Homo-oligomer: A and B are copies of this chain.
């Protein structure tokens, strides 16, 4: 038993200069010693991407009592890996990724660098939370989101999380949410995903865009609905993506008869 304050690792995918991560730092400061290890610029949509073809590096930006800030040339997941493998002197008690400028509900968890970093913390057996605000504006108002993120961080520091489970908190763009709902990940997909444009040579180029389309049936406890109704949503996510039900069906396919 030591008297050490909790060590909290903070990262994001909007980069170390984004408002969201800096508001998060302010609101978690009194909960422990903070180490920020975040990308040196925007890495939105990087999911759990890792950098393997080129090397990465990092730089110390600030060191003061209870707060150290590094920037890193890699992806959000690279940040988590490099911090834990090479920089931190002890294992963090908590990882918080965010606050993301923009929502990461539904299947966004698949593409989100914010959630990729939270998943990576979970792989390292660190209780990990991704926090996102449904507002892409650079100067978004993070105050309600900070209140909820801080509340959840305190609780997770106290309770821990099961091996292989991490949390996805999304907060609607409202001065005050109606409450917080524990949800499932909404099912659906994006449609009309590209805006056609052209480059300076007159060649067609495609910008990612799109609208979310829910899949049927729509479960009343999904995160999309909660957010649409003015609630913050909290989805517990798993690293293990095995479809255990379908394993039985596949065994029934008798694929082993193709064995030699």
Contacts and interface: CB of A to CB of B under 8 A. Distances in A.
Contacts of A194: 81-82, 85-86
B56 A205 contact: yes
A126 to B, nearest CB: 11
Interface string A108-127: 01110000100100011000
Contacts of A77: 111
List the number of copies, as a whole number. 2
A109 B243 CA distance: 13
Contacts of A246: 161-162, 165, 236
Tier of interface size on chain A? 35 or more
Given A184-B244, A246-B165, A251-B182, A50 B55 contact: no
Given A184-B240, A243-B236, A50 B45 contact: yes
Contact of A124 (B44, B162, B189): B189
Contacts of A259: 177-180
Interface in A49-64: 49-53, 55-58
